[in-house]
Amino acid sequence: MRLSPFHWPLSVQVFVAMILGIALGEFGRTQPYLGGLVNNTLGQIGMMIIRFLKALAVPLILFGVLDAIISSPVTAKIAGRLAIICLINVTVAFGIGLTLMNTLRPGDAWRGHTEELIEKLGGPQTPLGQGLKPTLDPLQSLSGLIPNDLLEPFLHNNVIAVVLLAILFGAAIRSIRGRTIDGVPVHLDAIEQAIRGLYQIFARVLTWSVRIVPLAVLGLVAHAVAKLGLSLFQDLISYGGIVLLGLSLHGLIYYPFMAFFAGGITPRHYLGQGADALLTGMATNSSLATVPITLRCLQRMGVSDTSARLAACAGTNFNNDGVTLYEAITALFLAQAIGFDLTPFEQLIVVLSSLMASIGIAGVPEAGLIILPLVLGSAGLPDAVVAAAIPLIAPIDWILARCRSAVNVLSDMLVAILLDAWNQRAGQRQ
């Protein structure tokens, strides 16, 4: 057994980093310790890591979506069915999340605390929410998502625009693949191989980069605790409870109901036969790593191989209900905490950003924590709030991450079940 901390699961490393961050923050406070180390310096290092991960996530999303589109052997009709099923599922997920957040409003208990944290961390001097809110004009807000040039979405981390570009270019590649124009065959093999290669390169770099996430958590938590102490973390119980409630309602109530109502598989069969994949997803914290187990579970349920592979392999990027629900709840929670009440249209922008970001970064360990800054930015939250979010959320994120992965695995299985039932009714089961 390897005892080196570098070989521990990332979730364990993050948890240990959070404990060490709390200890260093309480021990050192704002004074130098251990040979001149200052918690403020640790916080600056943590923010540099987070900024790097945020910059790396955008091209990964682009090539991840492109690769998913060009590598999936699907017809337009079946792809449409898959899209409809995924859209219904994620709509229910967001409906649950937004209803809970707008009804229970757990972020209200944080008002004043977050503003104090940002002020002590050197944030903006103007009251939060003033001059930072997105425009109330829906058309103007929508026009802000349309880039002036192809580089702008990458320069400004416009996730929605990046994913839309990826979908358009991916669809274009598929539409002209193998065609002949003016008697000359169109060869796109080199382009497709380049896309796959670039995606693998960015994924590998991100995999390496994720190894230093615990260092970012340690630094940011130490900085926050040094400034305010531990009292601020007590209200995390309400936030975590809302996230877990939303994930439970979606994964353990809605999914089994739909599997039975539309797929003809009883909740006992769905959860029982899918238990191996569910537990593996929680243990590995990755729905992508669980795909082989998911396929075996779907086979035991009697789902056709075509539907299983399409939903669990090609469609896994679009089945991240757990991550998208978590991102939206977190963004609204922090917005409520600083008195940054979002209109329904602005909440829709957050929802779309959560969905788009999770599509491109599916399967990456701790994906929810990595794309959180992107989603918070889409909500119009200031940089100081985005910086404060990581140390505020990190103490319980390692628990929520496993629940998110479990919901994603359940989503893969449900989509396969519903797609297979739809194809069977249409006489197109393969």
Residue 185 pLDDT: 77
pLDDT at residue 430 above 50? Answer: no
CA distances from 338 to 173, 229, 252, 331 (A): 45, 19, 32, 11
Q: Which of 64-73, 240-249, 272-281, 342-351 has the lowest mean pLDDT?
A: 64-73
420 by Cβ neighbours in 10 Å (0-12 / 13-18 / 19+) ranks as buried
pTM confidence score: 0.65
pLDDT digits (tens, 9 = 90+) for 68-108: 778 765 667 877 888 899 889 989 998 998 899 889 888 77
pLDDT at residue 288 above 90? Answer: no
Distance CA(376)–CA(357), nearest Å, equals 11
Residue 344 pLDDT: 82
Q: Which of 28-42, 356-370, 376-390 has the lowest mean pLDDT?
A: 356-370
| Phi, psi torsion values for 135, nearest 5 degrees | -60, 145
Distance CA(385)–CA(392), nearest Å, equals 10
Residue bearing tokens 């995999």: 207
pLDDT digits (tens, 9 = 90+) for 8-19: 666 577 778 878
From its phi and psi, is residue 34 left (phi > 0), alpha (psi between -120 and 50) or beta? left
* Domain 5-425: top CATH class: mainly alpha
Residue 414 pLDDT: 95
Residue 216 pLDDT: 79
Contacts of 319 (CB under 8 A, 6+ apart): 86, 89, 287, 311, 362, 408, 411, 412, 415
Are 144 and 349 in contact by the 8 Å Cβ rule? The answer is no
pLDDT at residue 123 above 80? Answer: no
More confident residue, 215 or 35: 215
Residue 301 pLDDT: 93
From its phi and psi, is residue 70 left (phi > 0), alpha (psi between -120 and 50) or beta? alpha
Residue 248 pLDDT: 94
pLDDT digits (tens, 9 = 90+) for 155-191: 776 666 777 788 788 888 888 887 877 777 778 888 8
Residue 135 pLDDT: 39
pLDDT at residue 429 above 50? Answer: no
Domain ranges of the chain: 5-425
Residue 73 pLDDT: 59
73 by Cβ neighbours in 10 Å (0-12 / 13-18 / 19+) ranks as exposed
Average pLDDT on 332-350 reads 78
| Phi, psi torsion values for 88, nearest 5 degrees | -65, -45
Q: Which of 36-40, 141-145, 358-362: highest mean pLDDT?
A: 36-40
Residue 165 pLDDT: 84
Q: Which of 10-19, 251-260, 330-339, 352-361 has the lowest mean pLDDT?
A: 352-361
Residue 245 pLDDT: 94
The total of other beta-carbon atoms located within 10 Å of residue 151's CB is 9
Residue 184 pLDDT: 76
